[in-house]
Every structure is written in C-alpha cells, then in structure tokens.
Amino acid sequence: MIIVLDNAISAADKRNLHQFLETRNLRVNEIVGEEETVLGAVGKLAIDPRSVEILPGVKRVIPISKPYKMASREFKTDNTIVEIPNKRGQTICFGGRKLAVIAGPCAVESREQMMSIAQKAALSGAVMLRGGAFKPRTSPYAFQGLGEEGVRLLREAGDAYGLPVVTEIVSAEHIPCTRDFIDMYQIGARNMQNFELLKRIGETGKPVLLKRGLSATIEEWLMAAEYLLSSGSQQVVLCERGIRTFERATRNTLDMSAIPVLRSLTHLPVIVDPSHAVGIRDKVPPMALAAVAAGADGIIVEMHCDPDHALSDGAQSLLPEQFDKLMRDISVLAPVLGREVAHIRKTAPEPLPLDKTKPGYQGVCAFSGIRGAYSEQAIGRYFGETVGELALLSFREVFEAVSVGAAGYGMVPIENSLAGSVLETYDSLFRFDDICIMAGATLRIEHSLLAIRGATLGTLKNCYSHPHAFNQCGDFLEQHPHWKQVFAQTTANAAKIVAEKGSVENAAIASGINAKYNDLAELTASIESSKHNYTRFVVIASRQHGVTLPDFPGQDRKASIIFIAKNTPGALCDCLSVFQRHALNLSRLESRPMPGEPWRYMFYADVVLPGMSREDAVTVVDRVIAELKNNAQGIRLLGIYQNRDC
C-alpha cells in the first residue's frame, strides 16, 4: 500500500507509523516525491488499509493494484536513478538525463583480450565494462567461460581504464567469489525466473541488471524485478534484449515498444541490448540508435577486437571502429532528445609549472582563454599560488575538463555588473548535472588600451577586443570614431593578436597585465565608462570532489538552485512564495530555455543566507527544497557557498 503523509506530520508520529507497519512484517520505504512524501509498505501478509488511515499524520492510503508492488509506479512515482561509483571519483547513473553505455565482449577469454577491449571501449565513451565469466550455453560442449579467473581479469581491466564492471552469474554459489570484484550483477535471460537466485542476489544489496526472459511478458519481467526489490536490492536496471518469436531473420525480435510501456508501469530505469536482440553485427548500430530514440536510459553492446575468432557470439560483436562510430552517432542524437552521453574521467594533464610539494597545493583550476584573461586573474586572486592553471578554449571545455577530472576546479564568469548574465555559464550549469558551485569570486574589471611600443593614439586605425569590452568602454571609443572595432574571442586574445601583428595601427582593449605578458605598451589606463564594473565568477567542481573551500569571516553565504516550474497556472508564483515564507531574499532569478523541450524553461535562483553558519544554511536550504518540490520539478541544488571580493 501507499501511505500519503500529512505535510505537517511530526517526527514522533512518523516513528510510530514506521513501528506500526514494521511490527506487522511490512517492508517500509520512505519516498519524497515532487508533491508529497509517502511511505511504501509491502509484505506477505494482508493488512486492512483503514487501520493505517486512522493513524495520526496519515493523509490517505492507496492500495497497490499491480501484482508487482515495489516495482510499480504506484509505489514510487519518481524515476529511480541507479548509481554506481567508479574508481575515478564519479558516479555512473542509469535513469537520469545522461545515457550510460556498457560495452565489452560476450566472454572473458584472456588478460590481453580484456585489456585491449577495455582501453578501446573507454576511449570511445563507454562508462561500464561487461564480460561473461560464467557462460550459460545451450550446448554443454560450447565455451563455458573462465569462471573466477575471468571475474578477476574483468576487474583488472575495468580498474585500468576507470570502468565499473558488470557480469552474469548463473548460480548462487558464485556470489562469494564475485561479490568483491564486480560492481553490478547481471541476471541473464535464461535465469530471469530463477527465483532462488534472484532472492540470493537481492540479499547482497548490489545493483542488478535484469534481462528479460526469452519469452517473458512484461508483467512476468516486472515480477522478477519484484523478487530482487523485496529481497533487499534497491538498484535494479531492466534490460530489454529481444524475445523469441516465429521470425528467423534475426536472432530474436527486439520489442522496442516495451520501453514506453515500461515507462508507464515502473519507476525502474530501462536499457537495451541490441546485440542479443538481432545477433547480426551490422544490424546492431541502427537498433541501438532506435533504442535511444525510444527513450532507453542506455545500451549494452558486445564488442571484440577480433570477433571472427571470438569464443562466443562473434557474429554479433562490434569491431572497435564500429563501436566508436556508434558512440559518435549517439552523441549527436542525444541532444535532440534532451539528453547527453555520460563520460568517464580521463587522466588529468600536468598543470603549468607549480611546486606540488608547496603547502596548500590544491590541484588544477581550468579557465577559458589564455594567460592574462580576467578568469586567470580571478584564479590568482582567489587561490593564490595553491593551484596550477589550465587554459582552455571555451566555457564548455572548462565544464567538460572538471566533469571528466582533467581539472579539480574551474573558474567561469556568471555575471557582469554592466553587460549582464553570461548565458553560456547558466546553460552549462544545467547541462552538467555532476558539477556544483564551490565558491564565488568578484573581480573589479579595469580596461586599458594596449599597443606595440612606438604606437600612439594618432597612429591607431584598428581596435581589437571582446564585444563586452567595447560596450564597457563606449565613452572612450566615442572619442575615436574612426577606429575600426574588431571582435576577438577574449580580451587576452586581443592583446596577443596585436602583439603578433606588430603594427602601430593596431591596439587592444584588455587588462593592463597583458602588456607585461605580450611586451606591449599601456597607452591609456582605466578607460572603462563606469568604475563600478565588476564580474562575478563561480568556482565549479565535480560533486564527488569532496573538498570544502575555506570560509571567509564576515561574508554571507548564498545558495544557487535550479528548478523547473510545473506547467500550471501560478506555479512560478507558488515557487517564489516558498522563499518568502522562509524570509529569504532572492538576489537573482534567471530563466533559460530547456534543451530539446521548446517553450519550457528552467529557472536559476540565487538565495541570500545572511549570517548563517554552514550547518544552519544546509538545514534551511533543505527545508526550502522540500517545500519547493510541491510546485516544481527537476530541482537541483548547485551549491551553498561564500562569495569573495578579489
């Protein structure tokens, strides 16, 4: 049954309710939904819903009509996200906005084979490694797998390239020798209804990939998932791998309609195995793309460096080149559907020269531009000499570098006091859901006119800079209307261009520090129209970074939140009233269109938390987000942090 709680239920009433249900041998799960908090209670014994409905703090009781209880949408309305950590500080998610791709051979054959395949799979974009160590084959004379040795080889290859591993076991006796080596158990099609095996694997609590049986209905499949959920595993991923029909043109018939059907029936994530579905190598990529288009949360494909000599299923295994092209095709298709392909961190590059033995060394901070950019100056003023600097070409590359581990931090501008919002930063904060804001830094922007030595205001004909800098120096430029304004990618790039051209006819508007870096002369300093020209930067990091930046006494904290208002009258007003009820000042509210969803918008809000300690701020923000869920969806806390004037 589903027990909907009163929003005003006390902690004592909630404890009593839990105790009442558990003493009647019911398994209880608390689920915080978009609009309501509910308890899901399931068990072997029936209970009269009226005996629960009369208890204090209970709003109403809804019996679950489906034979599968914990797997049903009635039990949990929000989508489950199955999370699997890797060895590079990331979490691989099934069921979120990102598509997860699993790749590897049908069978583990040798160490050399696994290392080669893992390397190529990781380079192309796979986030998990698959491989069979125990092979249930139709013929007793076919290759049966390497067993425990195969599991160890799979683990070694996965660790070498940052890939969590998934493998199938066919008997409960394999659990002790595999538990410490794999990240996810796979239940194969032949074992989908091996209920004793399901119960034993469920008891381990590990994530499980549950393949659909050869001739199983969707209800039978979900009942198998119910065995896992009721036995203790809360992380189950369903895998459609084709069913047996009278058709013989392909190995099986891929039931693509199962994906949207499952979306309405269950909260569990769904992926597709096109390799076993069609059994023909060149038919796998189009079916994988079709699965993504149909709404799958990921795919699992077989790949082999020498499929013609594979010991198992070589005919359906992709060559590395085919898998690489498939990944590129999925990366193109995903944004059309409002999704992105998940990636693992790569080995971090060496930072610019910095003594790593120096006390306080904190790693690498990426920024967009070249040496002399305002972002680089913000890094120096905020971190001092405790970080190395990594110069990249765009804000998106900064986010990608932090997301994949090429940099521990990123420094990106989010707002200028004169030019307004940096929209690309807002969009990237929404797109990269594994990124959080660790700190803020405000930098006074001072522009100078730079040129080669010997140039004067009278010799100049061309002025290079970023469009924002031209706008910020409008009063000065009006005095020189004959100068041609030439756009550059950044102000620092403008200074570099002028130095490279070496002509007295060219000048750049940039920070004065660029004169030193490019051996230029500073013709005129402080040419900005307003002396109140500031840019606010944010320090971003991976959510798994785990490092808390130091506090700055006297500085108020703020919280940055992204939310999507429901498409109902007054929903945005109701969302904003939550902040008012908690007496919190919204210092900024920005709306941005959602990728792939025309006429829908996400909102970015900055909330001031005056005088609060870190602990108090977290408590208040948690309450705000809990209330916000009644009128919003897709809520994400970007960070609770302090801003530092640099």
Indicate if 327 and 273 belong to the same structural domain: yes
Count of CB atoms within 10 A of residue 361's CB? 14
**CA contacts within 13 A on the Cβ side of 371:** 9
Closest CA to 26 of 49, 5, 58: 49
Residues 474 and 596 in one domain: no
What band does 150 get if pLDDT is binned at 50, 70 and 90? Answer: very high
475/337 same-domain check = no
**Of 61, 67, 127, 72, whose CA–CA distance to 96 is shortest?**
127
Residue identified by tokens 């009433």 is 13
- Domain annotation covers residue 593: yes
Confidence of residue 356 (pLDDT cuts 50, 70, 90): very low
pLDDT at 90 over 60: yes
420 residue type, one letter: G
Q: Are residues 321 and 248 in the same domain?
A: yes
Q: How many domains does the chain have?
A: 4
Write down which residue in 308, 341, 374 finishes a domain. 341
The long-range contacts involving 352-356, CB below 8 angstroms and separated by at least 24 positions, are: 352/388, 352/389, 352/390, 353/388, 354/385, 354/387, 354/388
Cα 445 from Cα 534, distance rounded (Å): 5
Structural domain contains residue 159? yes
520 and 573 share a domain?
Answer: no
**Same domain, yes or no: 504 and 561:** no
Do 90 and 198 lie in one domain? The reply is yes
Nearest C-alpha neighbor of 71 from the set 184, 223, 192, 295:
223
The CATH number given to whatever domain includes residue 478 is: 3.40.190.10
d(CA 110, CA 343): 26
SS3 content of the chain, % helix, strand, coil (to 5): 35, 25, 40
The pTM for the full model equals: 0.62
The residue segments making up the domain with residue 127 are 84-134+143-341
From first CA to last CA, the distance across the chain in angstroms is: 56
The answer to whether position 364 is within a domain reads: no
List all residues 6 or more positions away from 596 whose beta carbon is below 8 Å from its beta carbon. 335, 336, 337, 338, 339
On whether residue 349 sits in a domain, the answer given is no
The CATH number linked to 631 is 3.30.70.260
C-alpha to C-alpha distance for 307 and 326, rounded to whole angstroms: 17
Spell 127-145 as b/e; 16+ CB within 10 A means b: bbbbbbbbbbeeeeeeebb
Query: What's the CATH number where 39 sits?
Result: 3.30.70.1140
| Confidence class for position 103, pLDDT limits 50, 70, 90 | very high
Query: Once rounded to an integer, what is the mean pLDDT over residues 264-272?
Result: 95
Amino acid 533 reads N
In a domain, 119, yes or no: yes
Rounded CA separation 465/372 (Å): 13
Which tens digits make up the pLDDT trace of 505-540?
Answer: 999 999 999 999 999 999 999 999 988 889 999 999
Same domain, 50 and 120: no
Residue 406, in any domain of the structure: no
Q: Is 173 exposed, middle or buried (0-12, 13-18, 19+ CB in 10 A)?
A: exposed
Single out the residue in 292, 307, 341 at which a domain terminates: 341
Q: Which pLDDT belongs to residue 421?
A: 87
Do 208 and 336 sit in the same domain of this protein? yes
**Contact, 333 vs 293, CB < 8 A?**
yes
Are 202 and 335 contained in the same domain? yes
How are beta strands 128-130 and 98-104 bridged, if at all?
A: parallel
* pLDDT tens-digit series, residues 209-249: 999 999 999 999 999 999 999 888 889 999 999 999 998 89
Contact between residue 414 and residue 639 where contact means Cβ atoms under 8 Å apart: no
Give the residue numbers annotated as catalytic, written as ranges: 535, 537
The H or E element containing residue 415 is strand 409-416
CATH code, 253 = 3.20.20.70
CA–CA distance, 465 with 460 (Å, rounded to integer) = 14
Asked whether residue 437 is domain-assigned, the answer is no
- Could you report the per-residue pLDDT of 3-36, keeping only the tens digit for each? 888 877 888 888 888 888 888 878 787 776 555 6
Are 177 and 300 in a shared domain?
yes
Residues 534-584 pLDDT 10s: 999 999 998 765 556 767 777 889 999 999 887 778 888 989 999 999 999
Is 174 a member of any domain? yes
DSSP character at residue 446 = -
Q: How far apart are alpha carbons 592 and 604 in whole angstroms? A: 8
Cβ atoms of residues 146 and 126 within 8 Å:
no
Which comes out higher in pLDDT, residue 445 or 632? 445
220 and 293 together in one domain: yes
Residue 262 · residue 239 · CB < 8 Å: no
Examine the fold and report which residue of 304, 319, 341 is the final residue of a domain before the chain moves on: 341
Checking if the pLDDT of 267 tops 50, the result is yes
Question: E-strand spans in 222-287?
Answer: 236-240, 270-272
Q: CB count, 10 Å around CB of 280?
A: 15
